[in-house]
Structure 1
């Protein structure tokens, strides 16, 4: 099949350049590569900005990246991209009519969905949508600090009804969309995958003190990732160290506000000698940090999917996660790891102390987690399931409308 993937703000080329932090850009890059492996022809459309070259880039993985001229050719924050979405959609429609007509379009994130639906209606191309993150959840999490456009929930509701199929990544997302007003009948649950070439049990291990248990946590240094709760939990495990991987490079941590707040919190909790901030590391090196850990803590307040938990599981590391979003699907409580309530350092500390003190349980969790990754969360399996979704929507003929 010919598959168009629309990822307006997140280019898969950041993954190939080593600049990715493991977000939507990584998802799109690895999904596109897996679809090519299944014999599909894949074009990825992303917005041209000052960091990209115009035209088409052929990737080593066999898919092409096309840069769409929509808005000024410079980097724009997310809240400034919405006015240029119509231009993005019109360019797509023209390109699909004149140069390369796909069998199906898969949009990633709601703004990409707006552009894809616009182009799909003018060319007859069916549209599949993955939200990746929902505005209603962001609003609930951030409250008055949410900077998303006020009408985002309305756009997301309309898109859920306009798209031919909505691909959801967790049971929690299904409930969120049903409450938003998107029919359950329009949804297909297809969990994303984890790169088993990078994240695996064997391979290099980051240096560590063998006499001190290591608790690892990974992610962006934002409040909602739950790093403060992890630091507050560490007094319950007085023999262990806590290693935090993420944020800016190590040399920039002393001037980073979030890193400084975590360091100050560690001092106030009496654990400054046992909490280490490593900073951001290249994705290819991240697995060595997972393999160095006795357990991984994934403690966000909300998480649409929970990639870090999957990566740790794929490296054979037992996981303690918060019972939210995608983590509640990926970590089976008492079988592949432990789940605790979000924003509860007391419960988290108890779980850390308990698991560090039980070598047999950690081994059982790690073994079961690795089996779960291999049976359910490979990119090969994800591409197989999505291929069935694409084939189903592509069989429904839809006439194109006149260009606006």
Structure 2
């Protein structure tokens, strides 16, 4: 990975633009832009709300580059000392744009800086021209819609989270709620294509957002070279866990919507000998970061319930060591109130660890009940305790779950497979765009008997 400072960015006349040098070596590569306003693809996962979206954009970008695309991933710069450009591979880079103060800003207060983000992006668009833009999250979608007003671009969007669902469970909507809902409807109806990561998300878009617009289902993926089956004894030895412990694992951010409290309380109701069960919580920042309040709250509940001695707060873990935690666990629990897809589920399954998860969103797609794990009602402490007990108490069945879980990911959820589907979608959209530009309207006075084809008919995705 190559980091370029502010003086080495694309506008510098002193240092060569990596985009230009890469294109000079591979003139046939088509440039495309992935926009992830708050989800920095180059960020450390788990830090200041960095999670599934960051992983998705980074992995998709790198996989698309391997398929022959020139990929620029745009995000907002949140720290002054962060490199403006992070070169992940010769044909894939993250570009951090200055939009507002160079500091972390919570998502609910970020929209006011999106016009500045558009202006910063337009400088790259004018110089390189990205004929296709894949936006991620609703604010990035707004950016894409603004760019589409002045440039002929094919616009693709992945939501990652739906306000129409999120606000159903929030007692007090934030001030930005109505704006978000309007943009989510607008992007569905006006984008060239929406990528839903599961059939359940597609259904939610149709029932809650709009009946208009084109949607294709392309799932998220995982790095099956990194997340794979290995001996459990080896993983536990490296992590310092005892061979005979029953390990219940959570991986993710500290956020009330992630349902960690439900898991903690469920652990007090397990039938297993309490001394044999260890709850391992991986992820999140320290108490000084944006998610510190929720972490402190969860730690308080753990102490209140007398679970401190058998609960381990690991903190952020790099992707190189994360497979060890999945492998060491007997069960991975995802108690989220809602997940459009849920990358943790397929990471765990790729390592052969069965999952107990809330029966919500894309988790109902990635997990096959009774074959790769169990699904239970969200926020149902009793149901989670019962499901965890089933897996911990039946070693033979758990072994079968491990095998089937790994097989399902290998067959359906590799990043290379996801990128291949996206690449096919992009090429179809670009081909239709070119066909549309080449269409010359013919007037009846110019050629008797000519058949006039409406230009808009060529913009529809078959």
TM score, norm. by length of structure 1: 0.89
CA distance in 2, matches of 1:360, 1:117: 53
Q: Which has the higher contact order (CA 8 A, sep 6+)?
A: 1
Residue equivalent to 1:379: 415
Unaligned runs of 5+ in 1: 400-404
Residue equivalent to 2:245: 212
Quote the offset at 1:89 in angstroms.
2.6
Q: Does 1:48 align with 2:49?
A: no
CA distance in 1, matches of 2:167, 2:390: 34
Deviations 1:98-152 (CA, angstroms, capped at 9, x unpaired)? x212231101111111111221332211100011111112211222165644321
Unaligned runs of 5+ in 2: 1-29, 438-462
Q: Does 1:38 align with 2:72?
A: no
SS at match of 2:60: helix
- Which of 22, 25, 40 aligns to 1:11? It is 40
Stretch of structure 1 that moved more, 329-338 or 132-141: 132-141
SS at match of 1:43: strand
Quote the offset at 1:55 in angstroms.
5.3
The alpha-carbon distance between structure 1 residues 110 and 263, as it changes in their structure 2 partners (threshold 3 A), is: closer
Quote the offset at 1:342 in angstroms.
0.8
Quote the offset at 1:291 in angstroms.
1.1
Stretch of structure 1 that moved more, 105-114 or 181-190: 181-190
Residue equivalent to 1:323: 359
CA distance in 1, matches of 2:284, 2:47: 15
- Which of 202, 225, 232 aligns to 1:197? It is 225
Quote the offset at 1:68 in angstroms.
2.8
Deviations 1:312-347 (CA, angstroms, capped at 9, x unpaired)? 111111111111111111110011111111111111
Q: Does 1:227 align with 2:227?
A: no
Residue equivalent to 1:294: 330
CA distance in 2, matches of 1:188, 1:231: 37
SS at match of 1:321: strand
Residue equivalent to 1:63: 92
Stretch of structure 1 that moved more, 151-160 or 212-221: 212-221
Residue equivalent to 2:458: none
- Which of 298, 310, 319 aligns to 1:262? It is 298
User: Contact 1:237 / 1:352 at 8 angstroms: preserved in 2?
Assistant: no
Quote the offset at 1:272 in angstroms.
3.9
SS at match of 1:59: strand
Q: Indicate the structure (1 or 2) with the bigger Cα radius of gyration.
A: 2
Quote the offset at 1:21 in angstroms.
4.3
Stretch of structure 1 that moved more, 109-118 or 46-55: 46-55
Residue equivalent to 1:343: 379
- Which of 84, 92, 114 aligns to 1:85? It is 114
User: Contact 2:281 / 2:315 at 8 angstroms: preserved in 1?
Assistant: yes
Stretch of structure 1 that moved more, 171-180 or 261-270: 261-270
SS at match of 1:143: coil
Deviations 1:337-361 (CA, angstroms, capped at 9, x unpaired)? 1111111111111111111111111
User: Contact 2:334 / 2:358 at 8 angstroms: preserved in 1?
Assistant: yes
Q: Does 1:237 align with 2:271?
A: yes
User: Contact 1:14 / 1:20 at 8 angstroms: preserved in 2?
Assistant: no
Residue equivalent to 1:402: none
CA distance in 1, matches of 2:36, 2:333: 30
The alpha-carbon distance between structure 1 residues 275 and 184, as it changes in their structure 2 partners (threshold 3 A), is: farther
Stretch of structure 1 that moved more, 72-81 or 290-299: 72-81
The alpha-carbon distance between structure 1 residues 257 and 62, as it changes in their structure 2 partners (threshold 3 A), is: same
SS at match of 1:233: helix
CA distance in 2, matches of 1:263, 1:15: 23
Q: Does 1:314 align with 2:343?
A: no
The alpha-carbon distance between structure 1 residues 88 and 323, as it changes in their structure 2 partners (threshold 3 A), is: same
The alpha-carbon distance between structure 1 residues 56 and 278, as it changes in their structure 2 partners (threshold 3 A), is: closer
SS at match of 1:144: coil
User: Contact 2:270 / 2:389 at 8 angstroms: preserved in 1?
Assistant: yes
User: Contact 2:190 / 2:213 at 8 angstroms: preserved in 1?
Assistant: no
Quote the offset at 1:380 in angstroms.
0.4
Residue equivalent to 1:367: 403
Stretch of structure 1 that moved more, 10-19 or 386-395: 10-19
| Structure 1: 4+ residue segments shifted above 6 A | 16-20
Stretch of structure 1 that moved more, 118-127 or 58-67: 58-67
Residue equivalent to 1:182: 210
The alpha-carbon distance between structure 1 residues 396 and 166, as it changes in their structure 2 partners (threshold 3 A), is: same
Deviations 1:235-259 (CA, angstroms, capped at 9, x unpaired)? 223322221222234x879x95434
Quote the offset at 1:267 in angstroms.
4.5
The alpha-carbon distance between structure 1 residues 16 and 37, as it changes in their structure 2 partners (threshold 3 A), is: farther
Stretch of structure 1 that moved more, 340-349 or 198-207: 198-207
Deviations 1:163-186 (CA, angstroms, capped at 9, x unpaired)? 100001122221221123433651
CA distance in 1, matches of 2:322, 2:46: 16
TM score, norm. by length of structure 2: 0.79
User: Contact 1:245 / 1:279 at 8 angstroms: preserved in 2?
Assistant: yes
Quote the offset at 1:19 in angstroms.
8.7
Quote the offset at 1:75 in angstroms.
3.6
The count of residues paired between Structure 1 and Structure 2 equals 396
Residue equivalent to 1:108: 136
